[in-house]
Amino acid sequence: MAGGGFSKLPNGTVVVALSLPDPAAGPAGGTVRVLVHAGNRARALTRIRNLGLRAVYLRGNTEPPTPDEITAVLHHPDGLIWRTAPDRAEELWHPIRALLRPARPA
């Protein structure tokens, strides 16, 4: 994992941000920034692991979510979103199912 971090919100919940290898990029590389809103850090990581990303760990708080990222994940109904990293202002946040969906044959 390239980096990640968390922010504890005033209501006691947390937003966890992780930079992960892009599963769609394959060996070419690339990373995605994944944001998760959950009751605590352990639960946030469990939500990601339950999607099939088993080797996800949060070590330290080197890249905590920005205020804009926190706002984005709090306003999403699933509380689990992503976009490519490094962040490009013109790219919108995507629901996690768009990242994990298998590629359609051409």
DSSP string, 42-95: HHHHHHHHTTT-TT----S-SSPPPHHHHHHHHTSSSSEEEEEES--TTPPPEE
Check residue 20 and give its pLDDT.
Answer: 83
Q: Is residue 105 part of a domain?
A: no
Instruction: Please tell me the total count of domains within the chain.
Output: 1
Check residue 102 and give its pLDDT.
Answer: 57
Q: Is residue 79 part of a domain?
A: yes
Q: Is residue 63 part of a domain?
A: yes
pLDDT tens profile 87-98: 667 788 888 877
Check residue 105 and give its pLDDT.
Answer: 52
Q: Is residue 106 part of a domain?
A: no
pLDDT tens profile 5-63: 999 999 999 999 998 887 666 667 788 889 999 999 999 999 988 888 777 888 889 99
Cα angle: 62, vertex 67, 71; to 5 degrees: 125
Range of the domain at 28: 3-100
Q: Is residue 93 part of a domain?
A: yes
